[in-house]
Structure formats: C-alpha cells, structure tokens
Amino acid sequence: MKLLVTGGAGFIGSNFIRYWLKNHLSDSIINLDVLTYAGRRETVADLETNSNYEFVQGNICDEKIVDELVSQVDLVVHFAAETHVDRSIVSSKEFIKTNVEGTRVLLEAVKKCAKPPRFHHVSTDEVFGSLDKTSNRFNEKTPYDPRSPYSASKAASDHLVRAYFHTYNLPVTISNCSNNYGPYQFPEKLIPKFITNLIDGKRVALYGSGENIRDWIYVDDHIKGIEMIIEKGVVGKTYCLGGNNELPNVEIAKKLIRFFDKDESFIEYISDRPGHDFRYAIDSSLAMKELGWQPKTNFEDGLNKTMQWYKDNEAWWRPLL
C-alpha cells in the first residue's frame, strides 16, 4: 500500500511515519509538508535513507501538487494543520487557509480519482467546546461548539470531510483526539515548553489559576488508534481517541518541577487568555468497543519518557527557541 501523509514533518505526523514504516514494511509513504515553523526537515532527517520514504515540500492548498500526489496513493492520512490556539487568537488567516481550504483541496483531489483512496482526517477534541467539572466527556455524538479560531477552523474541516462522504460517497474516517505529548513536539505547546524552560532554569507560566483541565494522550497511543481506524474502522464514521488522563495544568507543572528538583516558586501565574476553555475530556468507548483500541501508556511513564527525550535532544529543539 502507498500512503500520502500530510504534515509529516510535524509532531504527530513524523511519529506516525516512523511507526508506520517500522510496522508495515511493504508499504511506502510520501510525506507532503510545506515546512512551516513547526514542520522541520530535520525532524524526519533520519528517514531520508529509507527507500520506502519520499519527502515532497509543498502546500496542501496547491491543487497541482496535491492532485498529482493523491492520484498515486491508496490512503491519505491528513495531519497538516495550524494548531496553536494562541497564534489563532492573534491572527486566524493562516488557520482558515490551511485547515479549511487545505482540507477542501485534498478532498477534491480524492474525488477526482477513478478509484478514490481512503481518506483519514485527524482532528481535535477542541471542536466540541468546553466542559465544566461535572459534565460528561466528549463522544462522537457531542454537538460541536468551537470557541477559538483554531477550533472553529478544525470544526469546519471536519464538516467538510463529512459532507464529501455524504455528497460524493468518499471513503473517509475522522478521529478526534485529546492533547498529545511526546517526542518532537514544538516547544510552544504546554508540556515541551515547560520542559525546555526548566532545562534552562526558567520558570513555567500558567494561564489564570492553572486549574484548566486537559486529557493527555501519549503520541504513540494516538498513532495506534489511527492505525486501527484505518484497518478496522467503518467508512463514514468518527472515532474519539482519549488518553484517560485528565489533569489540571497546574498539576502538570508540579509534576515537571519535581522531576527537575525545583520548588513551586518556579510556577508563574499570568493573565488568562481570551476564551480559555476550562476542560476537555474524551470518552473513547466506541473505539474500544469497535476497534479493540485503548491507550496503554501510563501518564507518569509517558511524561518521564518525554522529559528524557528533550534532555537528550537539545540539538533538535534549542534552535527553535
């Protein structure tokens, strides 16, 4: 089988490519990435010698490139997206262009094929809005209620994928995942930002009181879930993939400062960001029942592996600062 992976020089996409090439030895992958600030050729440099891997620098909004590549493959796995909420608050333009228009271009390319390749769309739990402490977790039937330009752009892309399934009968699936963490994550996101700050002896900054709750999934567990959706998932369906690790951001900060033998004076509380969602949490029951998937990485183990990776790989992340 031949795959097109969009955004494969980014965090989750690069981890997916490594996993797939290791576990599907007869498959080949084309990695299409425009190489923005968060997508770096260095992240996938170790794959360049693999004969089953090809890198193409290009934009998913470029119809000519996308049409050419999609026509060659059996499966498209769509990771490419602008993802940082804070950046979307400053300017939403690139989020709409990449996340909405880019997804439309990909779907149109799939539609043009005589035998349309399978299309898997990777999305986020943020499309569902915000929960309070007592609300039931998000699931596949939760109404959409995006509250930032980023989550609104991802919600729009999800709706496009479903529309192309219903209108054109394209073979699509969607996954909505909780917050990922692990190696190769750009150090603007919470966990790698805190880790790299602490390595440099700097304080970690928490919005508001730090009580906002997120559900954390180790990147390898997320990738395994995507693999199982591709192999076992029902075309046209959505699957929610959560880590079952709900923690307030302040608890993440405390775990990390303990790892680095610091005290709580290394936590700095700053003004909350606009429209800051209070809680995200995913109910993965459908994926567990239909696919036999479940997250396997204990949060403490995953966090320790992540911290160690950033300590061992300063050459990768330090230039980004």
Query: Given its phi and psi angles, is residue 102 left (phi above 0), alpha (psi -120 to 50 degrees) or beta?
Result: alpha
* Residue the block writes with tokens 């990485």: 297
How is residue 220 written in tokens?
């390898």
Go through 140-150 and write b for each residue having 16 or more CB atoms within 10 A of its CB, e for each that does not: bebeeebbbbb
Q: Does residue 129 surpass a pLDDT of 90?
A: yes
* 99, two tokens: 């996340």
CA 274 to chain CA centroid, Å, is 22
User: Quick check: pTM over 0.85?
Assistant: yes
Stretch 179-186: mean pLDDT, rounded? 97
Catalytic, out of 33, 53, 82, 126:
126
Give Cα 58 distance to the centre of its chain: 19
- What pLDDT score was predicted for residue 35? 95
Over residues 134-139, mean pLDDT: 96
Q: Is the pLDDT of residue 84 over 90?
A: no
At residue 71, does pLDDT exceed 90?
yes
pLDDT tens digits, one per residue of 29-51: 999 999 988 899 999 999 999 99
Arithmetic mean of pLDDT, 66-84: 96
Question: What CA–CA distance (Å, rounded) separates 64 from 194?
Answer: 40
In order of 250, 258, 269, 300, the CA distances from 263 in angstroms are 13, 7, 14, 19
Which of 33, 53, 150, 239 is the catalytic position? 150
Q: How far apart are CA 128 and CA 141, in angstroms?
A: 10
Find the mean pLDDT for residues 218-242. Answer: 98
Task: Give the dihedral of Cα atoms 307, 310, 311, 312; nearest 10 deg.
Answer: 120
Say which residues have a Cβ less than 8 Å from residue 251's Cβ, sequence separation at least 6.
Answer: none
Could you name the CATH architecture of 2-181+217-245+278-296?
3-Layer(aba) Sandwich (3.40)
- Confirm if 173 and 237 have CB atoms less than 8 A apart: yes
DSSP state of 208: T
- The alpha carbon torsion through 10, 239, 301, 82 (nearest 10 deg) reads 20
CA distance 30 to 52: 8
The structural domains of the chain, with segments of one domain joined by +, span 2-181+217-245+278-296
Q: Which of 125, 158, 227, 277 is catalytic?
A: 125
Is residue 150 flagged as an active site residue?
yes
pLDDT > 90? residue 100: yes
Mean pLDDT of the chain: 96
Check: CB of residue 267 under 8 Å from CB of residue 207: no
In sign, the C-alpha dihedral spanning 309, 314, 315, 318 is positive
Question: Can you tell me the distance from the alpha carbon of 6 to that of 42, in angstroms, rounded to the nearest whole number?
Answer: 16
126 catalytically annotated: yes
Does the annotation count 280 as an active-site position? no
3-state secondary structure of 248: strand
Whether residue 104 is predicted with pLDDT greater than 90 in this model: the reply is yes
Residue type at 138 in one-letter notation: F
- Strand residues in 197-241 grouped as ranges (E): 204-207, 213-218, 238-241
* 3-class secondary-structure state, position 77: strand
Containing 312, the helix (H) or strand (E) segment is helix 299-312
